[in-house]
Homo-oligomer: A and B are copies of this chain.
């Protein structure tokens, strides 16, 4: 059997429950089922820590409902959020022994938790699952690289636009984006201050690019304009 290296064609798509995934010898359906078979459900309250930077990475997590932030802090408290994880997303998978960042529930969350050793036990015998673990890490790297471009070279407006466009891409059908996270979370993700994020939202609103229904509900009025601002 050959190694499948196209992420999209992977037997174990660890990221999303894709009904179209081919059946596997190890499990009934796709990655999601595999994971579910192995994992246990847990729930976390708002701002509750799921794991901390430096802790042993003995578990792998998937968001069932709610949202999670992964982040690192400098000694003086400056925080950089590495990523937001929404329903269906996997997080906390490490190749090394320890977590490289901390994870917290943004609001109340249902999380599927799976022993890493269980996955690893299978991966030792199955090149396919090993491949899927790799693809998951590669996906995170890809997101980190896009984030690098954003933080290093984009203006505040471009950052916010990129952020909103990425969220909109996750739920292409929906008329409205629901922001699970606070302005502070967004600011710490985009490398800005809360005030700049707020000002940029109102700017985009007065330019007719978005509409805000309360600060957590964003409607994208012009997809084209938003894409142009994205750079």
Contacts and interface: CB of A to CB of B under 8 A. Distances in A.
A4 to B, nearest CB: 9
Given A127-B124, A151-B191, A231-B74, A138 B80 contact: no
A140 interface: yes
A72 B142 CA distance: 12
Contacts of A124: 1-3, 127
A170 interface: no
Interface string A141-179: 110110111011110000000000000000000000000
Contact of A137 (B6, B78, B138, B190): B138
* Interface hub of A95, A124, A134, A135 (most chain B Cβ within 10 A): A95
Contacts of A2: 120-121, 124
6 contacts: A1-B124, A3-B121, A137-B137, A137-B138, A140-B141, A148-B148
